[in-house]
Amino acid sequence: MSSLPSVSDLRLVEAVARHGSLGAAARELLISQPAVSNRLAALERRIGERLFDRDTTGARTTPAGRALCVEAAHVLDHLGTIFDRTRAAAHARTFTVGTFSSLAPWLFPALEELLDDTTIHQVVEHGDRLTADVGEGSLDAAFVAVANQMRLPATVIAVPVGSDRPALLTPAGVAVGTGRRPFAGLDVVAYTYDMSTDALHERLSELGARPRTAATAETAVRMARFLQCPAVLPHGLARAYAQHTDHLSPAPLPGRLTLFMVTRRPPAQELAAVVHQLPARLGLRRVPAAGAADPSQTAAVGEGGAGS
């Protein structure tokens, strides 16, 4: 028996988890309930972990079951688009591109403009998952800020797109102090799109703040207005979401963020050609060319590469 799960295994686990019942999953899959029970037990033996706690009230996922359900949903969603992507590829140039949620509203319209004769399939996910998807071939490119903070698959290359620095967004009527502890006694909403959240919170605490985490840049700005407190987030996104009543200034803390385009080697010519046009559209500073004329060769980060 193969150690790899079959599509029917993944559909079985997803259906049981969604319905919370072996009987309901059996009716959806058009098989008997004993067959569902036997197949689920066989899958658990192959994995070596219990996936569901089952009793007379239904079936509830265990931690192992929840983890498998997340992976199953990811694979099934990808499988569901294979035929559509195959048909589209026969008629037009198509790229599947991923990025994180805060950048998606700005990146995808920019790519649609710059690649106007190309179909862009949009994917939103965390940066580490997107990078792995590029490595396995299910994404053509990912625009992420964590490429220099993780080990990259050997099959990919990370090209710097642009850099950014933390900004301070202060809603109307909110006062920030001066000196060594300008945020003394203040909540400060913090958002960053790389892996420096803990360091950002630590630095804000040193400046007297009570850091509060936001899941996205837009959430950070809305929280700041609702709580009447400052927000610290990347300048490009702060500028995109700021209203005329908000005050934007450099944040009183160090740090630089770099957005990367991660692709398989070598990058598609169309994608490499738009790299130098994106910073202006995303509110980023262009990364110095370091003497390289080809954007696909500019300060690239290889496997396990470092740099900011």
DSSP string spanning 182-240?
TTTT-EEEE--SSS-HHHHHHHHHHTT-EEEE-SSHHHHHHHHHHHT--EEEEHHHHHH
What's the pLDDT tens digit per position in 130-163? 999 999 999 999 999 999 888 898 899 999 999 9
pLDDT (0 to 100) of residue 308: 29
With CA atoms as reference, report the closest residue to 71 among 129, 29, 148: 129
Q: What share of the chain is helix, strand, coil (3-state, %, to 5)?
A: 45, 20, 35
Is the predicted pLDDT of residue 288 greater than 80, yes or no?
Answer: no
Tokens matching residue 195: 């892996």
pLDDT grade, residue 89 (50/70/90)? low
With CA atoms as reference, report the closest residue to 77 among 105, 62, 96, 52: 96
Is the predicted pLDDT of residue 292 greater than 70, yes or no?
Answer: no
Average pLDDT over residues 59-63: 93
pLDDT grade, residue 2 (50/70/90)? low
Tokens matching residue 119: 């179909």
* Contacts by residues 238-242 (CB-CB < 8 Å, ≥ 24 positions apart): 238/167, 238/169, 239/167, 239/283, 240/106, 240/283, 241/169, 241/217, 242/169
What's the pLDDT tens digit per position in 180-212? 999 999 999 999 998 889 999 999 999 999 999
Tokens matching residue 214: 């936001």
CA distance 266 to 152: 15
pLDDT (0 to 100) of residue 234: 96
Instruction: Set out the domains of the chain in order of their start, with CATH numbers.
Output: 7-80 (1.10.10.10), 82-164+257-297 (3.40.190.10), 166-250 (3.40.190.10)
pLDDT grade, residue 289 (50/70/90)? low
Share above pLDDT 70 across residues of the chain, in percent, rounded to a whole number: 91
For the question of whether the overall pTM of this predicted structure is more than 0.85, the answer is no
Q: Are 105 and 111 in contact (CB under 8 A)?
A: no
Lowest mean pLDDT among 3-7, 99-103, 250-254, 287-291: 287-291
- What's the per-residue H, E or C state across 150-176? CCCCCCEEEEEEEEECEEEEECCCCCC
pLDDT (0 to 100) of residue 304: 31
